[in-house]
Each structure stands twice: as C-alpha cells, then as structure tokens.
Structure 1
Amino acid sequence: MTGFDISEGTTADIDDVMAVMNNAFDPRFGEAWNAGQCLSMMSLPGTFLVIARQDGEPVGFALNRHIVDEVELLLLAVTTARRRQGTARRLIDAVRQLSLARGASHVHLEVRDNNPAYLLYVNAGFSLVGRRTGYYRGANGEAFDALTLSCQLDHGVDLHP
C-alpha cells in the first residue's frame, strides 16, 4: 500500500473523521455519530483517535476511550473503497498497541448483531461476552441486538506476527 499511514489523531482531524463516517455507515442502522458527538467524546480524558490515511486521504479511523485498565473501541469505520484490504485490521492492531502502551489489559466493543464486521473482530481475537437485546434502533425503528466483545491484551506478545 503506497502512502498508507496510521497515526493518532486530534480534534483537528474531525473533518477527516466525518468524511469517513459519512461514507462508511449505512444510515438505515442509525450507528453514525455527528461531529458534535465525536468532538464531545474526544474532549473526555482517556479518549484517543487513530486515523488511517492512503496518500494523505482519510480512509479509516478508530475512536477509543481508556478508563482504568480497559479500552472501549467506540467506533471503527473504513471507507467502502478500502474495505477488505486490511485497513480495519491494521486499525485494530494500532488500537491494541496503543492500549497496551496506556496500561490497558482488555479492549471491549459493541457491534450490531447482523454487522459483517463481527467476523473481523472475532478473527482479530475478540470473543463474545454478552448481548444487549434491542440496543440499536434503525432509521425505520427496527431494533437490532448489540453483541459485546472483549479481547484480552497480552503484554508479552507481539501483535504483528
């Protein structure tokens, strides 16, 4: 991947985050956040952003929050043009590395039950630990369960075999 880069972001990157968000999230599921929600979360202690860029253009991001010894992966998005090319996995690996560096022992996330990303998370080492019935509401009012996943971080293992 020529010109592919993953780095930590700041609130100054909100336009890039929103460009990816608007491209990546299907509006019928109601999962996308607006800029105000993202900026509000990013202002909280422990929140960190990871952005993937291809030739300087944003192609993915992960928004996370570190509390005590756990990190919650709040949002992960990759543009439709970059899906199935390893971008999401590289973002997850970056989140895991940064989480380890911050002293976290686990990364948690929630994903809509019928979201194809579920397999990505399982293949990245996450395990199903719970379900929230009817947690998500789609644009038409349809309810979807949230699957809670967790990944234990091993401080002695290289995440990039």
Structure 2
Amino acid sequence: MGEAFEPRYGEAWTPSQCLGMLALPGAWLTLARVDERVAGFALARAVLDESELLLLATCPTLRRRGIGGVLLRSVIADARIRGATMMHLEVRANNDAVALYQGEGFRKIGERRDYYRGNDGKLFDAHTFSKMLD
C-alpha cells in the first residue's frame, strides 16, 4: 500500500513504523478489501476516552469509490466501542482527504505552520481536526 502515498510529499509511513504503532496498547488496524485485494487501511489508537486516527490510506486506482469513507466510519465505530468520546486527526493542509473528514463532521481546531516537508524541501501546513463521538 506504499503507492497510496504521493512520493512528492514524503508522507509514507514505513511498514516498521506501522508495526511499531500496532504494538502500543489501544492501537488497531482496519483493512478495506475489494475483490480480495487490500484497497485501503486505517491505523488508529484509543487512550481512555480519546482516540486518534493516525493514518488512512487508499489505493490510488480505487479512490473516489467511497473506500476512505467506509474506513473512516469503521474506525469511528471501533473507537466508540473502545469507549472514546472524541477523535482527533492531523492532515496536510492541501490533502484531498480534508473534504472527507469535514464531511464526516470533523472540525478544524488547529494548525501547525510548515509542519510537513516534501521530498523537494517544500513545507506544508498541518491541520488538526476533532470530532465528538457521542
């Protein structure tokens, strides 16, 4: 699923980073499949009554088919089951996924200027979002 991350932004998590997160208490991975093929995944964690969407990725050839929305709603449902009443996430400001998050009720609560560095050295802002899960 490394192809789910645009190389110019340098955002791809390595498999070892994902595995390292999964080893932490409260972390989980949700997979989406289309015709027995992994079409996307979401990595999240919950601590006490708060949760965080760490990573959501879909296969580029399967985008705009609702897979990201299904993954996001599944992660939200899982977070509720785990007792979370709030979910947080962070995303690059010009990422197309911002519209998905806002459409699912996430509200921008903060900004980190020049937080992400692309492979060409260009800097991008990070936006933080939250959603009440009640």
Q: TM-score range by the shorter chain?
A: over 0.9
The residue that corresponds to 1:23 in the other structure is 3
TM-score norm. by structure 1 comes to 0.81
Deviation at 1:90, TM superposition (A): 0.4
RMSD of Structure 2 on Structure 1 (CA):
0.7
Identity over aligned pairs, percent = 49
**Aligned partner (choices 81, 102, 121) of residue 101 of structure 1:** 81
Q: Does 1:66 align with 2:77?
A: no
Matches within 5 A, 1:1-161: 20=1, 22-154=2-134
List gaps (5 residues or longer) in structure 1: 1-19, 155-161
After TM superposition, give the deviation of residue 76 of structure 1 in Å.
0.2
1: CA distance between counterparts of 2:34 and 2:94?
28
C-alpha distance in 2, partners of 1:108/1:140?
A: 28
Shift of 1:148: 0.2
Give 1:134 deviation, angstroms: 1.0
Could you tell me which amino acid in structure 1 is paired with residue 124 of structure 2?
F
Instruction: Give the ranges of 4+ consecutive aligned residues of structure 1 lying more than 3 Å apart after TM superposition.
Output: none
Structure ID, larger Rg: 1
Give the aligned residue type for 1:61.
F
Q: Could you list the runs of 5+ residues in structure 2 that have no partner in the other structure?
A: none
Alpha-carbon distance, 1:28 to partner: 0.9
CA distance in 2, matches of 1:127, 1:41: 25
TM-score by length of 2: 0.97
What is the Cα deviation at residue 87 of structure 1?
0.4
